[in-house]
Structure 1
Amino acid sequence: MSSSIPVRVSVTKEQAQERPQFHQDSYEFVVSESLTPHIVFGNVSVGNELYFYRIMDSRASELFDVDHLGRLSLRATLDRETKDRYVFTVEVGSQPVSYHQNSTTTVNVRVTDVNDNSPVFSHPNWAVTVRDGMRSGEVLQRLVATDADDAENGRISYRILSGDDYGIFSVAPDTGALMFNQWDDEQLVRHNDGKWTLFVEAKDHGSVRRSTILPVQISLELQTWSGSAPFFVVPGYVVPVLETTSRESTVFTARATNRFGIPMNTVRYDLKDNDQAFSIDPVNGSIRLKHDLDYETRTSYKMSLLASDTNGRSAVVPLEFIVLPVDEFPPVFSQPSYTFQVPLVANVGIVIGEVHAVDADGGVHGVPEYRIEPANDLVTVEKTTGVVTLRAQPDKRRNHTVEQITLIAASSDAQQAKATVFLEIGDFPIRAANSTFSSNIFKIGAIATAALFVLLICLLGCCLFGYKSSKPKEIESPRKQVYSVSKGQVNGNNNGICRLASSPKQALPNNVSQKNSSMTSSASSNSGLRNSLLSHREGASTRSQPDSGIDQDTVSVNSSVTEYLISIGVNPNPIQSRPRYRRPDTIDAMLNDYIYARVEDILPPGPVSMSENIDQLEGLYQYAQSRHVAPTFQPLTEIFDELEEIQREQPKKREYIQVEI
C-alpha cells in the first residue's frame, strides 16, 4: 500500500540585500535586581527595519530576551546577591538562514542592589550567663549579624529592644558586643528563677530599612550569686511549745530565704548547742520533739539555728523554745474543812478567816482562784488571797448557829478543788486587825518604816565616812610624867637621872636649897633617858604649853606603874584642886625646857600642881625673872652631885615633893 501528495516548486531569482551592522562593538546596561520581567531595559537595534536578533549564549538567553527591533528585556528576575554582572553576545541578520551576512555585538548587564535582604545573625540562638562579681563593661558575647545587600543596604546597627528594664546590659551599636553594666536586684522580682530573655535587633541602613530580632537567653548563677546567700528574716525565733506535746511532733519549721525569696534546694539546716531534746530535718527544716517536756522541771530550751548552702555560705540565729505550762494538777487545800467564828457585832468588811490552797503546777496554773458556790449573802472570799470577809452584818437572830458553805479553789475550768467552811455565828469577841484595809495599812507602814530606817543608816554611814576622811591626823605630843620623890631613897638600878639646870656653876635659890628633897628615877636607864632627852630637846622649843590630855591607851597601865613607884619609895600624893597660877609669858618658854615626860603616863587625869608650896614656885619665878641670861642645859652628873650635897646637908626626913618633868 502507498500514498502520494502533490508538491509545487516555484523558482525565483535571488535579490541582493545589505548586511546589518551594529553601531557599537559593545553595549552596557544597568539593571536593578528588582526589575520586572518583560520590561525593556535596553536597545541594540541596528535600524528601523526588521532584522533577526538572537542571543548567542544559551544561559543568558534564559534570563534575557531581544525582539526584532533589538530591544532587550528580562525573561526572569535577577538577583544581585547571586550574580551582579552578565556578559553575552547578540547577533543580527537580514535573513534567519543567511548567517554569513550577520554581525554581532557584546552586551554587558550590571545588576544594581536593592535592599531586599534582612540582616542574618550567625547563630539563631544565643545564651549568656551572668556571674557574681562581674565588672562594669565586661563583654558577655559578640552578637554578629550579616546582610547580603550592598553598601548602606548591608550596613548593620544593633540595639536592645526588650528584656533590659533595669539597665543591666548594653550592646555596642556597630559591633554588636553585649556588655555588662551593673546588677539590679529588682530584675529578680519578675524573674525569680534567674532566667529571662533579652531581645536584640540588627537593622540595616537601606532606604527601606530591614531588621532582624535575636532572642538572647540570660541566666544567673544563683548558686554563687551573693543575693542567693541564705539568711533568716528575723534576728531570732521564740517558739512556744505546750508541755503536753507528744514526741515526734513537728513544733517548728525553719525557713531560710534570700534577698528576693528565690527558691533554693541546696540549703541545709542544722541545730547547734542542742541537748538532743529536738531534732531537725536538714532538707525541709522541720523540727521535731524528741523528749517529753515538763514545765516544772525546765521552762525553756535555747539553741542556735543554722542554714548553709553548698558554697559554704551560712546564717545563724538564736532559737528558743518556751515551754508553756498545762494545768495538770488540781489545787489542794491545806485542810479539808475550815471553821470560822462570826461575831454578831462585826462590821461589814471584817476578816473572818483565810483559806489556803496550793497547786503543783507552775506558772499561771499554779495560782488558784477562790470562789464560793453558790454565792453566800453573809461572807465573801477574795479571788486571789483566799481571805474570807464579812459581806453583810449577821442577823442577831442567828445567834449560836452554824452555817456551811462550799469554797472552791480552781486553777482552770478542768482543775479545781472544794473545801467546806463552817461559819459559827455567835457572841464572839472581835479580833484586832481583822479588816483587810487595816491589814494592808499595817503592811504598808511596816515597809515604809523599814525603808526609812535603811535610809537613815545610809546617811549616818556617809556622815561618818566624811568625818573620818576630813579629820586631820593627830600628832602625838610629848608626854609628861609626875613623880613623888621620897628623900633619901635612890634606886640602884638607875644609870642616870634626867635633870634640868640653869646656867652652869650657879647656886640654886635659897628657898629651893633649904628644901629637903631628893629625886630619883625608876622609869628608864641612863642610856635610854639620854636618848629621850636628845629627841625631846629638838621638839621642845615648838611647844607653847604643856599638853594636859590623857591617852586612853595608857590608863590601863597606871595601876601597875603606881604600885611599882610605891615599892621604891615614890608615892603619888593627891593634889587638891586650886586655881592654877598664871605664869608670865616670859617664863613659859623656860618652863617648857623642864618638861621631859607627860603626866598621863603615870597619873590619872586631873589638875596637876607644879609644887607642894606655891610660894616656892613664885620664888623660882622671881629668881628666873631676875636673870637675863637664857637658860642652858647642865650635865646630868653635875646635877646629881649637887643633889647629893643637898641631901647630906639636910636632916634625914621623909618629905614628898611634887615634881613635874
Structure 2
Amino acid sequence: MGFMERGIMRTKFPAWQIFLWWHHFFLLWSTIDGQTRYSIPEELKRGSVVGNLAKDLGLVVSELHRRNLRITSEAGKQYFSLDLGKGELVVTDRIDREELCGQRPSCLLPLELVIDNPLQLHRVEIEIQDTNDNSPSFLTKDKVVKIAELVNPGARFPLESAQDPDVGQNSVRSYLISKNEHFKLTVKNQKDGRKVPELVLEKPLDREKQPVHHLILTAVDGGDPVRSGTSEITVIVLDNNDNAPQFERHLYEANVSENAAPGTEILRVKATDADEGLNGEIEYVFGELTDDQVLSVFYIEPSTGAITVKGILDHEANSLYRFDVTAKDKGSPEMDGHCGVEIKIADINDNIPEIIVTSLTTPVAEDSAIGTVIALISSKDPDSGDNGKVTLRLSSKSPFKLSPSVSNHYSLVTNGSLDREKNSQYSVTITAADSGKPSLSSEKTIRVELLDVNDNPPVFSQPSYVVYVKENNAPGKILHSVSASDLDLGENAKISYSILDSKVQDVSVSYVYINSDNGSIYSMHSFDYEKLKVFQIQVQAKDQGSPSLSSNATVHVFILDQNDNAPAVIYPSSAALGSLSHQRMPRSAKAGHLVTKVTAVDADSGHNAWISYRLAEATDASLFTVNLYTGEVRTKRAVSEQDDSSQRLLIEIKDDGEPVQSSTVTVSILLEDGLHEPILDLRHKLSEPSRKTGRITLYLILSLASVSVLSLVTFLILAVKCIRSSRSSGSCCMRRSDCDDYKNPNRNLQIQLNTDGPIKYVEVLGGDMLSQSQSFRSCMSPMSEYSDFTLIKPSSTTDFKEVISVLDASLPDSTWTFESQQVSI
C-alpha cells in the first residue's frame, strides 16, 4: 500500500516542482554570528552542490590547493567534500536526517574548514531540512482491545500511537478509524506534542449480537505528498467485570538524578477499581509498547505501583523517558486502565571536559611575529548547563596565549618573542575546566618545536690571540688554531674560517694561510727575527646561514729570537779585510795603557746578543789584558826592553745564547821606540798634498759641524727633560735608560767620555739596537793642532766595515779609535 501511495504522489507532483523545491534550499544560506549556514534537504544525490564556499567566505579559488583547504566534521562521518577547482561544497554520501538527528526539531551538521598559510578556521553549519520520506507506522499491526459488554458509552480506550521519523509538518498529523456504529476516534494531544488516538465507545456493546468488532486505524502525516500507515484493531467484547481501574492522574511526572543508585524509588502510580474482590484487585505493569530501553533502567512494583531505578541512568544518553503504565484487575474478564509517565533525568557533572586539537603547526620559526597562530583548539563536554560550560586556560608560563574564536574554539598564538637558543621547544599545557560543582578538568600538552633561524653570529673563544713562534721555523708548520662557536643549528652553525688580512706595520703581507674547516693557521714562510719581529692576522669566522653572519678576531704573532748569528767584529777595521789587525804601541807605555778596543755587534737580541771578550792566545799573556765587557785591550804592566817588538793577540768574542756563537779577531801589535811624537807624523802626512787627504779633511769638517749641532740639540733636550722630571720626581738622570727607557725599552741615548792615554774620544749612541742604530763619535788628539773629527752613521755591520776601511787607509791607527757599545734594557 505504501509503495502505491508513493507512486501516486509521483504522478500527482511533477518532477519540475520537486526540482524547484530543492533549488530553493540549495540557494538558502546565511551568516549567523560569524558562521556560514546552508540549508539543504535530506537525501540529496551524491555530487549535489551545497554552495560555493570560496565565494561566500571571500577566498581565492586559485589559492585553495596551495593553502590546503580541508574539512573536519564533528559527526565523525564525512558527508561533504570540497571541489578545490571551483570552491564548491559537494555532497559525497547519503544524508538521512532521521539517522543524524532523530526527532529533534532542528538538525544542524557543523563543519570546520581549516586553511593553512596563514592558518584560518571557518565554521560552517549545514541545516538538514526534513523531507517526507517516511510513512507513519504502527509497531503493532494487529491490536486487540478487550471491552466488557457492560461498559457505558463514553468510555475511552487508548490506542497505540503511530511512529513517524519525520518531524514538523511531515510527522503524524491525524488519525482516522474505519466506519462503524459503536466506536468513534478522538485524538489526545500530549505535552511533548505527541498525538495519542483513543477509541471512544458511542453505543453499548452486546456480546451476544457481535462478540468481535474489526476496525482499521489509519495515521496520516502532514507532508506533501501525504503519507499514511494503518493498524488493524480487533475489539473483543467481554462479559461481566464491568468496572475498569481508573488512575488518579492521566500523566505522572518526576525528576531523578542520573547518579541515582539502583533501587531508588522515583514515584508511585495509583489506580482504583470500583469492583470488589478479584475484580477490584489491581496489578501494575508497563504498557505493552514500552521500549526495551525503559525496561532496562526502570522497574515497577506490581502490587504498589512504585517505579524504581533498575539500571544505570545517563543524562547524556537519554535525558527524558516517556512510557505508559497499565493497571489490570483480576476480574473475569479482566479490565485495565492506562496512564502516562514522564521521567526527566537530571544532569550531574560526571563528564570530564575533552580538549581537541584541530590543527597544529610545528615547528615554528623562532622569529615568528607576535600573534602567529600555532594551533586551533576546541573543547567538548557532554554535560548540560554549567556542567557543560568549558573554559580553557594555559597552566604554565610560556610565550603563548589562547585567543577565543567562534563557539568553543580557541587559537593558540604567540604572545612574546621566541628564542630557540634558550628554549628549543615548549611543552604548552592546556587545562580545560567546566563550571560544574565540583568542577572537573582535564589537561593536554602540546609540544611546540622551534625552527632555527640564523640570528647568532659565530663567536671566537677569545677576541684576540697571542702566538709565539721561534724564528727559522719550517714552512707549513701549524702556528695556532682559532675556534669559534655558533649557537644556531645546522647550516646556520656551520663555520668556515678565512684570513681577512695580515699586516706588518700597517702593510699587508702574506705569511700564513688558514684551514677553513678547523681554523688551524699554518706558516707559509720561515721567519727571521732579525727582519720580522711581530705581525698581525685578522681572522674571520663566517657561518653558512642565509644571510650569513660573521665575526672577526685578531691574532698577534710574535717571532722569538734564536741564537743564529755570531758576533760580527766592526773594529779593528782590518777585520773587515781579514782576521788580522795591525796596531803600534810605544815601548814607553805604562800599565793600563789602552792599546786598542775590539768592538763587535750581534744581530740577535736579548741574551743571544750579550757579548763578552776573552784573550784566547797571546805572544806574552802577562803583558796584555782584554776587558770582558768593553773589549778594551790594555797593558797589564809597563813594557820592558826584553819584550818582543812584535806581539800577537787572538781575541775570542762570544755571545750568551744557547748554543753559544763566537768569532775571533787577531791583533798584531808592533812595539816601537820614539813613538811618542805621533802628531808630527800625522802633521807630515796631512801636509802632503793629495786628493785623497783633501777629501777626508772635508769629511772631517762636515762631521764636526754635524756633531756640534747634534750635541747642542741633545743637551737642550736633556736639560728640558731634567727640568720637567725634577718638577715631578725631584731628580734627573743623564741616561734615559733610567726613566724614559723603562717605558720604551727599544730606545736609548748614551753620552760617554773617555780620556784613556793619549787618545780622547766622546761617544753619542742613540736608537734601537734591534733596528737601525745611530752612533756618533768625536776622536781628537790633544797633541795635535787640528781637531780631527770622525762622524760614523752605520746602518749595518757592512756599513761599519766600509767606513772603517776608508778611515784606516787615511789616518794612522794611533790617532783615532772607534767604540760601539750595545745597551740592553
Larger radius of gyration: 1
Richer in strand (by share): 2
Normalised TM-score (structure 2): 0.40
TM-score of the superposition, structure 1-length normalised?
0.49
Q: Which has the higher contact order (CA 8 A, sep 6+)?
A: 1
